[in-house]
Structure 1
Amino acid sequence: METGETKLAYIPKRSYLFVPGHRPELIAKAKGKGAHAVVVDLEDAVGPDAKADARESLRGWLKSGREIYVRINSSGTSHFEADLTLVGSPGVCGVILPKCERSEEVERVRSAGASCVIPLVETARGFRNLEALCQTESVQRILFGTIDFQVDLGIVGDGDELLYFRSHIVLVSKLYGLQAPIDGVCTAIGDENRLRDETERGKRLGFGAKACIHPSQVEVVNRAFRPTADQITWAHRVLAAFSESGGGAVSVDGQMIDVPVVLQAREILSSAGEPVS
């Protein structure tokens, strides 16, 4: 962007709230909880005997025209093909594909009518094939399924134990031009401190969003990703000083302002949804 050019920033989705697919009354409630994306879950949240009813319930709800994401069942299950009949429906703005391991699985979902697919990487094989998934058409970003991933690899712990894997997902997502990935859920419902710590850790590592399993988690996640008032003020001052200098060397608060600092300031304002110059 040339110096002096201003545009309103696009704010990527930061919170993805999962709602059980067999509880249609919760979908409308979830839409009012401030989540940037509501995900109707047809997979883990729905028992085998209730999946058909959940599909039909969702099919009826989609007629309202309101947009949601859908987590379908994985390609290795008997429910996959039936779930695909929903992915091209009006109102489905994205599909989360669990246990995703091959680009062919994404292609199958896309060919069924999905315009956006978010692979849920939660196995060793899916992680190994991450680059192929990121290069597949219609993939917008990656969701890291930390709990199932730990089980698959025999890992105990969600902290340093997953540092390499989180950092690699961030790196590969960037290399192939995807949005910053979505971090896995915090299972400690009601523990705001733990949720905030987990979200801020993901943000420091380069994640751009977090999955939520309860409405009470949404605002904590949104707030953690939102720049502070002090950061926004600093960013405006940096860009103003840089603009006034005509792009030359300038100091703000004793810090030399160069292009990397300007880019950081623009990113802060972009994350806040403010005009960026």
Structure 2
Amino acid sequence: MTAAPPLTWLYAPGDRPQVVAKALTSGADVVIVDLEDAVAPDRKAYARDATADLLGDPPPVPVHVRVNALDSPWAEPDIGALAEAPGLSGLRLPKVTSAAGITHIAHRTTAALYALLESALAVEQAYAVATAHPNLRGIALGEADLRADLGVRDDTGLDWSRSRVVVAARAAGLPPPAQSVHPDIRDLEGLAASCARGRVLGFLGRAAIHPRQLPVIERAYLPTGDEIERAETVLKAAAAEQGAQALPDGRFVDAAVVAAARRTLSLAGRR
């Protein structure tokens, strides 16, 4: 059985080390230390230095760092200070619009890279970005900026862009994208409904901005008891015979169905 993929990514502002420390014990699969939107310009240098100190040794959970936008004056110092930090698990690159942005960074670090697509142009370039370099390990949307760029009036206006990014990731052989953050930390019911919609679209897991959102995201993306039972039935049938076959309940089992069942059971181990 393959290891279960991460389902929760928790953002914490890089200029508040005490908040980062709490995030590391929150239960999130990955902590994202944010040097970009969460940090005011006059705090950028402090946030960078504090994050470099944090990553001098491997932390208890994987830590990614969202650096500043590549066309900003802070991006180069961010990458120079953090790209080879012993405790760094990944660099998240905001506002990527082309493959060139990825290759530029990939030549400077061996860290895993994750591209955030936050504009109409970026969505149009999703597959090119996703295949830019072997060190790119994932793509995702930055929906706040994308919503503003597109001028959409409600959440459904982003569904095409969401599907575009899911398809691009799959075509490039990358893991399914995680959903963008749900900005209202009190709206847990809305978060759950949004996660259910994201799961339908092919996302896997979600970024969060508060620890209270983590259990809602995990519950939404964990397989149900019925899904686990169905997956186990598929794998038992596949072990008994070779090739495609039909189960007694009429479901057709082939290699693709077996692969999906294995993914379900890899997640089931988290329950």
2:45 match: 52
Partner of 1:34: 27
Measured against aligned partners, the alpha-carbon deviations of 1:126-156 in whole angstroms (never above 9, x if no partner) come to 1121121011111111111111001112222
Preserved CA contact (<8 Å) 2:84 2:110: yes
Q: Hey, what's the Cα distance between the residues in 2 that align with 1:219 and 1:87?
A: 31
- Distance in 1, Cα, partners of 2:68 & 2:20: 18
Cα distance in structure 1, aligned partners of 2:99 and 2:215: 34
1:20 maps to 13
1:258 is the counterpart of 2:253 = yes
Partner in structure 1 of residue 149 of structure 2: 152
Deviation at 1:256, TM superposition (A): 3.4
The answer to which of 218-227 and 39-48 deviates more is 218-227
1:113 aligns with 2:106: no
Where in structure 2 are the equivalents of 1:94-243 lying within 5 Å? 94-137=90-133, 138-158=135-155, 160-243=156-239
- In the alignment, the residues of structure 1 paired with residue 100 and residue 246 of structure 2 have an alpha-carbon distance, to the nearest angstrom, of 51
Q: Distance in 2 between matches of 1:51 and 1:26?
A: 16
Deviation at 1:182, TM superposition (A): 1.8
Aligned residues: 265
| Distance in 2 of aligned mates of 1:139 and 1:256 | 37
CA contact (8 A) 1:9 1:269 kept: no
Aligned-residue Cα RMSD (Å) equals: 1.7
Q: Which runs of 5+ in 1 are unaligned?
A: 1-7
State the 1:247 CA deviation.
4.6
Structure 2 Cα separation of the partners of residues 164 and 25 of structure 1: 38
What's the TM-score once normalised by structure 1's chain length? 0.90
Amino acid at match of 2:237: A
- Contact kept, 8 Å, 1:20 with 1:45, in 2: the verdict is yes
Question: What does the per-residue CA deviation read over 1:34-91, in whole Å, with 9 as the maximum and x for residues that have no partner?
Answer: 1111000000000000000111111111123214100000011111111012122111
Compute the displacement of 1:190 (Å).
1.7
Query: Residue 249 and residue 124 in structure 1: after superposition, are their counterparts in 2 closer, same or farther (change >3 A)?
Result: closer
Instruction: Quote the Cα distance in structure 2 between the aligned partners of 1:70 and 1:108.
Output: 17
SS at match of 1:179: coil
Shift, 1:107, TM fit: 1.8
Structure-2 separation of matches of 1:95 and 1:63: 15
Match for residue 84 of structure 1?
79
Percentage of pairs with the same residue: 34
* Amino acid of the structure 2 residue aligned with 1:258: V
Q: Deviations over 1:220-253 (max 9, x none)?
A: 111211112222122112321332345563424x
8 Å Cα contact 1:241-1:250 kept in structure 2: no
Compare relative contact order (CA 8 Å, sep 6+) and give the higher one, 1 or 2: 1
Paired amino acid for 1:238: V
**Preserved CA contact (<8 Å) 2:140 2:165:** no
Whether the aligned pair in 1 keeps the contact of 2:69 and 2:75 (CA below 8 Å) is yes
Asked if the contact 1:94–1:114 (Cα under 8 Å) also holds between the matched residues in 2, the reply is: no
Quote the residue 1:249 is aligned against: 245
1:210 CA drift (Å): 1.1
1:75 aligned onto 2:43: no
**1:255 alignment partner, SS class:** coil
TM-score, normalised to structure 2, is 0.92
